Amino acid sequence: MTTEHRHVITRFQATATLILLLLASACLAQDAWPDSLRFGLAKAKEIAAAPTVIAAVEEQNRLNHQLDPAEIQALDERWRAQYGKSNADLITLMMGTPLSDFLRTLHLREKGVITEIIVMDNQGLNAGQSAITTDLWQGDEPKWVKTFLAGPGAYYASPVRHDDSTGVWQIQVSYTISNDAGNAIGAVTVGVALSEFGE
């Protein structure tokens, strides 16, 4: 065996060892996940795979594909202006959609554990939600950027934060929504109350 061959084998062995170490670290990290994160990711995946969700997101993508950034910003500003007001036609329209009804049912089924569910389209606009949010566009937030833009199978867990409106400490777990062809079409975020897991 030549010296060159020995160097090649040594490099191969070092690379293989590194890969095994990385895989072992990933497994250990997932084993150490808190129950709240496991629950949130499982729910986000379940919602992302629901035919009702996929169909609604694909339909909104089709209807809104010509919106430019200025129009999206105008919609978001209109939503923010209506938040907390009695005259809120845009918010009322969103909360009355079949997708929002579907998400609200899921939310109520896990009342106390799930704090919110938001489904977003391929531009970061809400396509449906279980409760009223302060804004309509999530396209500049990690919940959308780190999932939809990262592609199918991507997920993101937020830092722990205190929700002043409910007084609950929670995390948000987000996951990419993909269609039957395996293409990313949107994202879903599930809020999880840490108190329900003793965390």
> Structural domain boundaries of the chain?
1-32, 34-197
Write out the two tokens for 18: 């590194």
Instruction: Check whether 19 has a pLDDT greater than 60.
Output: no
Write out the two tokens for 129: 């939600």
pLDDT of residue 111: 81
Instruction: Check whether 14 has a pLDDT greater than 70.
Output: no
pLDDT band at 1 (very low <50, low <70, confident <90, very high): low
pLDDT band at 199 (very low <50, low <70, confident <90, very high): low
Average pLDDT score over residue span 51-73 = 97
CA dihedral 91, 113, 145, 66 (to 10 degrees): -30
Q: Is 178 within 8 Å of 189 (Cβ atoms)?
A: no
Q: Which of 1-5, 58-62, 139-143, 178-182 is the least confident region?
A: 1-5
Q: Which residues contact 21 (CB under 8 A, 6 or more apart)?
A: none
pLDDT tens digits, one per residue of 150-175:
999 999 999 999 877 667 899 999 99
Taking only Cα atoms into account, the Rg of the chain, rounded to an integer number of angstroms, comes to 21
- The CATH code of the domain at 34-197 is 3.30.450.20
